[in-house]
Amino acid sequence: MLFNNPLDYFLLILGCTIVLAIPLINRRKRSPAIYPPGPKGHWLLGNVSDMPKEHEWETYTRWAKEHGDLVYIKVLRQPIVFVNSMTIAYELFERRSSIYSDRFDFPMLGELMGFDWNFVIMRYGDRWRRHRRSFHQRFNPGAILEYMPLQLNQTRSLLLRLRESPDDFLAHIRHLSGAVTMDIIYGIKVQPKDDPYLKLAEDGFAVASEAANPGSFLVDTLPILKYVPEWMPGAGFKTKARNARKLSTAMAVVPFTVCKNALEAGKASPSFTASSLSRLASQTTDDVEEDETIIRNTAATGYGAGADTTTVALHWWILAMILYPEVQARAQEELDRVLGDRLPTFDDLDQLPYITAMCKEVQRFHPVFPLGIAHGTVRDDVYKGYLIPKGSVVIGNAWAMLHDEKVYGANVNDFDPGRFLKAGVPDPIVAFGFGR
């Protein structure tokens, strides 16, 4: 007998329904504009089989070399556009931000895993604007000076730990970035070892980063799959999401509650959360609970991002120092010449051009987010005759831009801070994302 279980009939019917529905969903009014070039896909499934499983940015950058600065693919019914040049990125994400400021729906990351408190992935609208406004009240270029003493103290603590146990350098670096983030966001002083808040952020970032890449989970392309029961064959993603939701909830709630309780007891240290809650208490508002939730969400966004991004950047810096000892020697020579036997402060930066260039090169050499945050289009747009349809996922390929030989020279795969000492070489600001 062909089918031994009623479930087999259900799966067959579900599969046939999806396959037959895709062409109908994709049918649309033809436009005189044409799509950007890209790898040819299957007539029905699009570029599903072309999607890379790892090191996605390398595949997308290869497509850029083959097809140009705008690359178009389609995964089932979802159009995806890769932006591979700084010029186009500025035009689309900055000058046309009203079209490109939406976000791609990540059912796996947001709805299923529970990271929908992260305003970075929120859909463009009033809710997103309120979260962004809350965040930028304390995290803006003018506020950087306020955090410099804390960063300096924690960096010097790092040097002591490195001297005491150099073999544990990776753990020491994680502790540095996490300690700074927890203090700034919540006023929480972390433990010297095995801190539960840092472990929570590390575990949360690990599961979130996997789900943040478009195409990592089929449910992001076929949202109807989110209704599939966890026990069904092929629904392992539901188990993964259920476990991740425990982490995401704890990341948002646990440190926020600690800070809030300390504030109510009059024992809170200065922090983003404490000052935001104090400001809220002094204001007249129509919905205190909603405003408090916004503070909690924006704090968790900073907590989740800040605790890991600095760690990743420093890991790449250490690897670069190992692979390029001549760079390390030149940096050490500049430090010895300018500082002598004292430790540096932020006031010394103007006298340390090579060190400054080295910091820029770390971001260029291997950006923490090679593909930035996926944007979405709120309506059709045309760029130089190419149609970028409404509902497209638009990805700024920072890796391709920062490894563009026309911009950064022929040795883009080498760690060479000297490139930033030359006139006309742009800072690697695209490593920090695009637009709003």
CA-to-CA dists, residue 238 to 4, 113, 233, 355, angstroms:
25, 9, 11, 46
Q: Which helix (H) or strand (E) holds 127?
A: helix 126-136
Rounded to 10°, the helix 353-365/288-323 angle is: 100
Q: Which residue type sits at 208?
A: A
Q: Which helix (H) or strand (E) holds 230?
A: none
Mapped onto helix, strand or coil, the DSSP state of residue 257 is helix
CA-to-CA dists, residue 192 to 158, 265, 310, angstroms:
11, 25, 18
Rounded to 10°, the helix 236-264/196-211 angle is: 140
Rounded to 10°, the helix 272-281/169-186 angle is: 10
Going from the N-terminus, what domains does the chain have, and what CATH number goes with each? 37-104+325-435 (1.10.630.10), 107-323 (1.10.630.10)
Asked whether the beta carbons of 427 and 357 are under 8 A apart, the reply is no
Asked whether the beta carbons of 311 and 174 are under 8 A apart, the reply is yes
Strands (DSSP E) found in 172-304: none
d(CA 162, CA 119): 35
Check residue 42 and report its DSSP letter. B
Q: Which helix (H) or strand (E) holds 78?
A: strand 78-83
Ordered per-residue pLDDT tens for the chain, 436 residues: 444 444 444 544 555 565 445 554 554 444 456 999 999 999 999 998 999 888 999 999 999 999 999 999 998 888 999 999 999 999 999 999 999 999 877 899 999 999 999 988 888 889 989 999 998 888 877 777 888 999 999 999 999 999 999 999 999 999 999 999 999 999 999 998 889 998 998 898 888 888 877 667 889 888 899 999 999 998 999 999 999 999 999 999 999 999 999 999 999 999 999 999 999 988 877 788 999 999 999 999 988 777 778 889 999 999 999 999 999 999 999 999 999 999 999 999 999 999 999 999 999 999 998 998 889 999 999 999 999 999 999 999 999 999 999 999 999 999 999 999 999 999 999 998 887 6
In this predicted model, what pLDDT tens digit does every residue of 256-295 receive, in sequence order?
Answer: 999 999 999 999 999 999 999 999 988 877 788 999 999 9
Residue partners of 141: CB distance under 8 A and separation at least 6: none
Given this model, what pLDDT does residue 2 score?
A: 41
Given this model, what pLDDT does residue 214 score?
A: 66
Closest CA to 106 of 21, 19, 207: 207
Give buried/exposed letters for 36-50 (b at 16+ CB in 10 A, else e): bebeebeeeebbbeb
Asked whether the beta carbons of 294 and 131 are under 8 A apart, the reply is yes
Note the Cα 88 to chain centre separation in Å.
20
Given this model, what pLDDT does residue 276 score?
A: 94
d(CA 338, CA 327): 17
Closest CA to 158 of 28, 310, 282: 310
Sort strands 393-396 and 78-83 into parallel, antiparallel or unpaired: parallel
In the block, tokens 């970075």 appear at 120
Given this model, what pLDDT does residue 373 score?
A: 86
Mapped onto helix, strand or coil, the DSSP state of residue 339 is helix
pTM comes to: 0.84
